Amino acid sequence: MEKYKIVAATGCPTGIAHTYMAQEALEQAANAKGVSIKVETHGQVGIENELSEKEIAEAEAIIIASDKDVQAERFAGKRVIDVSVGKGIKEADKLIEDALSGKGKIYKGENSESKVEPIQDDHDDRTSLGHNIYKHLMNGVSHMLPFVVAGGVLVAISFAVWGVFSFDPEHAQYNPMAAMLKDIGGTAMGLMVPILAAFIAESIAKRSGLVAGFVGGVVANNGGTGFLGGILAGFLAGYVILLLQKVFQKLPKSLDGLKAIFLYPVFGVAIVGISMSLLSGPMNAINQGMMDFLASFENSNPLLLGIIVGCMSAFDMGGPVNKAAYVTGTALLAQGNATFMAGVSAACIAPPLITGFATLFFGKYFSRNDRNAGLVNFILGSTHITEGAIPFAAKDPLRVLPTMMLGSSIAAVMTYLFKVKVPAPHGGFLVLPVVEGKIQWVLAILIGSIIGGIILGFIQKNQFQKDNAK
């Protein structure tokens, strides 16, 4: 087996482009200096080119270029340079030089007894609380997205091909295949919150956090707390497990197996499950209050109603505020009001399209990974999968979320002004055949999305210019 002077691990939230671009950049930079390197990638297909314990032990330095968890605990006691995946692409030459010159710091992994003091370097920004929270959140989002995409598209197909009531055995449109597809798609979508919570917790507390995070996510989902409940459950589970590790660290080494298979799961699931059960009630009460508030505007001014629906739909994209708007629309739809649902659908479709237009019009200011995600979001948005915009919002929520709320509000307001009727609770543009006011609805969504996309593009351009002026 070849002995590598440097080993590295790369990963990005979606695991599509940046992961492999960073790998290629590091390999080329190392080869240019005549240095042997092995780069492990954490992409959407899983871990490739995996580092062995021997290769890690023999390496003189380790480079982590990632925005997600890459199991860094393996590197305890080794000299590590830890940067974002973007720096792995743009600054590969510098990273190799830093690794060869002894920069980095000794990584103290979980339960590490290493007393070596950190080596001072210019990569300490990676230890910031904000970046760690972002990394944990993105680890959850990257694992969640395939469930959202698969489930949402299958549900949309069932509506588009067989009709919006084809899943209902009591309706004339009923079709067993359509009902089965909707059930499968709904199951996949229902796993979104538990998977999100599980992998946020796994990023924080490794495998020990997975069980508590998943169960906490299921409890949050069953309690109706949605996307925000999943985030809360994931972070709660991760840090509860870290606390339990400290509590049980004085137990004999011989009981390590018992801790992993019994103590952490039992205590973790109990604490997180009970906490989320207690929190679900208040969160649900708030959610019901928002639904009642929203329903009271059913016959109000289209401008006011559109702004309220648009802001709520884009505020948390799958969380309780978004769900309040969606569930209210579904409930009113069951009462025969297809106009209200039209605005909700438009507002939910807009956020992913906003990111798509932003990356289309201002592509040079976005990373290649973001451009790829933006193109994918044209498909996700068109099928009413709002969650595709989450990675963009998570990076800069204070500026991105208001932009999406504006674009969604414009789409909803125009939909209500045009008196569009959408008799389907899901499906996006796939349900156009049953929409009353097809052209007006598409026009309203496109106008709101393009305006939001232009604003988001200028925000990204301004940030890009600031970053490159430093």
- Relative to beta strand 6-11, strand 79-83 is unpaired
Amino acid in the structure at residue 328: T
Catalytic residue among 6, 9, 12, 141: 12
Whole-angstrom distance, CA of residue 210 vs CA of residue 445: 39
DSSP 434-468: G-BTHHHHHHHHHHHHHHHHHHHHHHHHHHHHHHH
Annotated catalytic, 311? no
Whole-angstrom distance, CA of residue 86 vs CA of residue 22: 7
Whole-angstrom distance, CA of residue 183 vs CA of residue 167: 8
Nearby residues of 167 by Cβ (< 8 Å), 6 or more positions away: 158, 174, 178, 179, 182, 183
Strand 6-11: give its sheet, edge to edge.
46-48, 37-43, 6-11, 61-66, 79-83, 105-106
Whole-angstrom distance, CA of residue 355 vs CA of residue 2: 44
Cα-flanking dihedrals φ and ψ of residue 333, to 5°? -65, -40
Q: Are 453 and 360 in contact (CB under 8 A)?
A: yes
The DSSP element (H or E) to which 122 belongs, if any, is none
Q: Are 86 and 369 in contact (CB under 8 A)?
A: no
Whole-angstrom distance, CA of residue 470 vs CA of residue 461: 15
109 three-state secondary structure: coil
Neighbours of 468 (CB within 10 A): 8
Which regions of 13-145 does DSSP assign to beta strands (E)?
Answer: 37-43, 46-48, 61-66, 79-83, 105-106
- Virtual CA dihedral for 193, 367, 99, 138, nearest 10 degrees? -10
Neighbours of 138 (CB within 10 A): 25
Task: Label residue 16 exposed, middle or buried (CB < 10 Å: 0-12, 13-18, 19+).
Answer: middle
Locate 122 and state its tokens: 């210019």
Neighbours of 260 (CB within 10 A): 12
164 three-state secondary structure: coil
Would you please indicate which residues are annotated as catalytic (active-site) residues?
Answer: 12
